[in-house]
Chain A
Amino acid sequence: MLRVENVKKFYGHFCALDDLTMHISEGSLYGFVGPNGAGKTTAIRIMTGIIYPDEGTVTVAGMPGGYEHAESRSMIGYVPDAFGIYNNLKVSEYMEFFAACYGLDGMEARRRSENLLKYVELTDKADFYVESLSRGMKQKLALARALINDPPILIMDEPTSGLDPRTRYEFKQIVGELSDRGKTIVISSHILSDISELCTDIGIIDQGSIVMSGRLMDVMKIVTAENPIIISMARRTTQAIRFLKAEKRVRSMAIKGNDIMINFEGTAADEAQLLKRMVDEGLPVHGFSREKGSLESIFMQLTGHGEEHTVASYDASESYH
């Protein structure tokens, strides 16, 4: 649906995007994450046609993207990180203004505006000035505005930042519904819990390049597979440590109370064999599970430029045998 191919963008000598490639499939809810200054907003502005790449191409539903292609441009609804709100207009006027900017006018503009305001629960604020709205309401209004011409693609830059938990929840509900209706949605966010809750796909950008992308479930599996196994002992922890030290597949070990965390190299069957041998040895294993992977841990690993790797492997070096 949306393809960004080998895009480069320079600001003077600073390379904001370095050979960025992203493929966003139709109907997906794509989480676009990266640290500050990684190039998220620049990439989004290039996707929407607001700025041009120095190299590379953007394709929207098979059509060339970019500013001069009005057809592809109007297929994208854009919610910027700044609200993009005219304070001196009423909510309904704001909506109808953008409807007119898309060539809609009169009854059609009013009908769409009313429907969208109802959808984001702002109907009772239609005659209020935009400046009187709360931050959350403004963000909902910005979302309604982006949908005024019913675009198949919605790109949102940090839509939930600065919102209170309830508004964030409501906002996520709306985004989820839009995704269910078949819209292709790209969300850039720092709030990784939102991304992991909402998104079907993910792209992690760092220093202008995508460092990991794919289906969120697949990415999480990879993360989980690399996580340590936590073995909780009811007692006899020392004997268990001695036993595990003798195991070739155990690369490293850390101990926290009765919990032993091991970096284990092997398949799921190997893990099962290890557990069986421990039980056969008479060790009272109380729990045996692989630590759940989190988006945060992979984000830290991939975007830390080396310094966070030690943290991500959670002090394994301290007790490496």
Chain B
Amino acid sequence: MTRLNPIIKRDLEVRSRGFTLPIIMTAVNAVLFLIGFLGSFGVVSQMRLSWIADPHPMLGIYMTVILTEFVLILLISPIYTASSISGERETGTFDLLLTTRLTPVNIISEKMISACVSVGVIIVSCLPAMLLPLIYGGVSVQSAIGLMLLFIPEAFLVLSIGMFVSSAGHSVVRSTVLCYAAVVGLITVPVLLPVLTKPFMLEQGNRLSYLLAADPLLPVFAAVTRQVGRPGAVRQVLAMTGLVPDGAFTEHIILISVMVQLALSFALLLLAVINITPGKRSWKKYGRPQE
């Protein structure tokens, strides 16, 4: 039988006892069901008045639910990793882990797995709320589940950012704030930078728009707009940022974006491993005199 690694076991045990996960799941589901119910109620009322059964407004609600859920997942994920290493440093347990047989790769990977499990549980728990607006059809359940799976690499990126920031810090508060700043930066900078530089780069097309591939919102936005029958939405966003739409880029934008983000995630995790390995962090002296 496969042995459960100690950090994963401990984290899951502790989380299963706490109220944080149930509270988060309840809150996220409450928000999504509220959007879904209110939207559906409005659309059904409209149908009753007009005597026209049009499923398209329901798809709009579906899109809203998906994007809301995704933003909530991006906001929740840092909770699970931003304090993981810095928290251990604050309590003095990190030094103890380093004196055991666990390697930095073990520590980072096990903490990531336990965080992924927790975030994964939240994502899966939202499935009913996600499917509620599809009561009149429009998107198959398989497609909706496929979209839900797309949340995983995006959440993984945010968790990796949290892990990296945490590995570099000694304070939970500081690393949490820095992690949120980094996530907000990752979402906004790839959009804002090309938009702001657009007037200077119109002739050859704004190459900075390719930065959008690193934006966690982009693949989800691209997937959900395709599902609801608005495939041109991504092209419009790219055009807005000044990029002359490239057929291959826009066609494979989800795959490209996921690959870029996974590469970024693993790079951050590698840096996190380097950060916590004694003697490996040559760019900054590790540790402080404590006496």
Stretch of B7-15, B40-48, B226-234 on the interface side: B7-15
- The yes or no answer to A171 lying at the interface (CB within 8 A) is no
The A-contacting residues of B in range 163-201, CB under 8 angstroms, are none
Q: Are A16 and B102 in contact (CB under 8 A)?
A: no
- Contact assessment for A101 and B102 in the assembled complex, using a CB-CB cutoff below 8 Å: yes
Scan residues 65-101 of chain A and give those whose CB is less than 8 A from a CB of chain B: 66-68, 70, 73-74, 76-78, 80-89, 93, 97-98, 100-101
* Inter-chain contact A11/B14, CB cutoff 8 Å: no
Q: Tell me, yes or no, whether B204 is within 8 Å of chain A by CB.
A: no
Q: Which of A35-43, A179-187, A280-288, A301-309 contacts B (4 or more CB under 8 A)?
A: A35-43
Does A10 sit at the interface, judged by CB under 8 A? Answer: yes
Collect the chain B residues with CB atoms within 8 Å of residue A52's CB. 278-279
- The 6 A-B pairs with the shortest beta carbon distances in the complex, nearest first, are A82-B92, A52-B279, A100-B6, A101-B100, A67-B278, A84-B92
Please, how many angstroms separate the alpha-carbon atoms of A40 and B291 in the complex? 8
Q: When the two chains form their complex, are residues A11 and B288 in contact, meaning their CB atoms are under 8 A apart?
A: yes
CB distance from A15 to the nearest CB of B (A): 11
Q: What separation, in Å, do the CA atoms of A142 and B176 have in the docked complex?
A: 29
The docked-state distance in angstroms from the alpha carbon of A107 to that of B290 is 38
B91 on the A face (CB < 8 A): yes
Complex Cα–Cα for A30 and B93 (A): 25
Contact B13 A93 (CB under 8 A): yes
Q: Are B287 and A51 in contact (CB under 8 A)?
A: yes
Q: Does A102 contact B (CB under 8 A)?
A: yes
Chain A residues whose C-beta falls within 8 Å of the C-beta of B18 in the assembled complex: 88
Instruction: Answer whether residue B75 sits at the interface, using C-beta atoms and an 8 A cutoff.
Output: no
Which of B97, B277, B278 counts the most A-chain CB atoms under 10 A from its CB?
B278
Q: Is the CB of B98 closer than 8 A to any CB of chain A?
A: yes
Among B18, B98, B100, B278, max chain A CB count under 10 A is at B100
Q: How far is A81 from B96 in the complex, measured between Cα atoms in Å?
A: 11
- What separation, in Å, do the CA atoms of A238 and B3 have in the docked complex? 84
Q: Which of B45-84 contact A (CB under 8 A)?
A: none
**Do A37 and B289 form a contact, CB below 8 Å, given A50-B98, A66-B279, A88-B14?**
yes
Contact, CB under 8 Å: B290 / A41? yes
Are the C-beta atoms of B10 and A89 separated by less than 8 Å?
yes
Q: Which residues of A contact B100 (CB under 8 A)?
A: 74, 98, 101-102
B290 touches A11 (CB 8 A): no
Considering residues B6, B102, B291, which has the most beta carbons from chain A within 10 angstroms of its beta carbon? B291
Are A98 and B9 interface neighbours, CB within 8 A?
A: no
Is residue A232 contacting chain B, with contact meaning CB distance below 8 A? no
B286 is an interface residue with CB less than 8 A from chain A: yes
Q: A51 touches which one: B3, B6, B17, B278 (CB < 8 A)?
A: B278
Q: Does A62 contact B (CB under 8 A)?
A: no
With the chains together, A80 CA to B95 CA distance in Å?
Answer: 8
Q: How many A-B residue pairs have CB under 8 A?
A: 104
How far in angstroms is the closest Cβ of chain A from B87? 10
Q: Is B142 an interface residue (CB 8 A)?
A: no
If A37-B291, A52-B279, A81-B290 touch, whether A86 touches B101 (CB-CB below 8 Å) is no
Residues of A within 8 A of B291 (CB): 36-42
B contacts, CB < 8 Å to A: 3, 5-6, 9-10, 13-14, 17-18, 91-93, 95-102, 277-279, 285-291
Question: Do B101 and A74 touch across chains, with their CB atoms under 8 A apart?
Answer: yes
A45: CB under 8 A from chain B?
yes
Instruction: Verify if A12 is at the interface (C-beta below 8 Å from B).
Output: yes
Complex Cα distance, B287 from A50, in Å, reads 9
Contact of A11 among B92, B96, B289 (CB under 8 A): B289
A49 at the interface (CB under 8 A from B): yes
Interface presence of A165 (CB below 8 A): no
User: A103 interface residue, CB < 8 Å from B?
Assistant: yes
With A11-B289, A12-B285, A51-B287 known to touch, is A73 a contact of B99 (CB < 8 Å)?
A: yes
CB distance from B28 to the nearest CB of A (A): 23
In contact, B101 and A101 (Cβ under 8 angstroms): yes
Q: Across the interface, which residues of A come within 8 angstroms of B9, CB to CB?
A: 97, 100
**Are the CB atoms of A50 and B93 closer together than 8 Å?**
no
Q: A83 contacts which chain B residues (CB < 8 A)?
A: 92
A187: min CB distance to chain B, Å: 15
- Give A20-47 as 1s and 0s: 1 = Cβ < 8 Å from B's Cβ atoms: 0000000000000000111111100100
In the complex the two chains form, what is the Cα distance from A101 to B18 in whole Å? 23
Is A105 among interface residues, defined by CB-CB distance under 8 A? yes
B13–A78 CB distance below 8 A:
no
Across-interface contacts of B3 in A (CB, < 8 A): 105
Q: In chain A, what residue has the closest Cβ to B3?
A: A105
Please determine whether A98 and B96 come into contact, CB atoms closer than 8 angstroms.
yes
B10: chain A residues at CB < 8 Å are: 86, 89, 93, 97
B278 interface neighbour in A36, A50, A86, A101, Cβ under 8 Å: A50
Check: A48 CB closer than 8 A to any chain B CB: yes
Distance to closest chain A CB from B286 (angstroms): 6
CA distance A43 to B98 in the complex (A): 16
Q: Do A48 and B99 form a contact, CB below 8 Å, given A41-B291, A83-B92?
A: yes
| Sample of 15 A–B contacts (CB below 8 Å) | A11-B285, A14-B289, A36-B291, A48-B95, A51-B286, A67-B277, A74-B101, A77-B99, A82-B91, A82-B92, A84-B96, A86-B10, A98-B100, A100-B9, A101-B97
Task: Determine how close the nearest CB of chain A comes to the CB of B285; give it in whole angstroms.
Answer: 6
Q: Are B96 and A70 in contact (CB under 8 A)?
A: no
Find chain B residues with CB under 8 A from A84 CB: 91-93, 95-96
Of A42, A78, A81, A85, which is within 8 A of B99 by CB? A78
Cβ distance A88 to chain B, nearest Cβ, rounded Å: 5
Asked whether A42 and B289 contact (CB < 8 A) given A78-B99, A89-B14, A100-B6, the answer is: yes
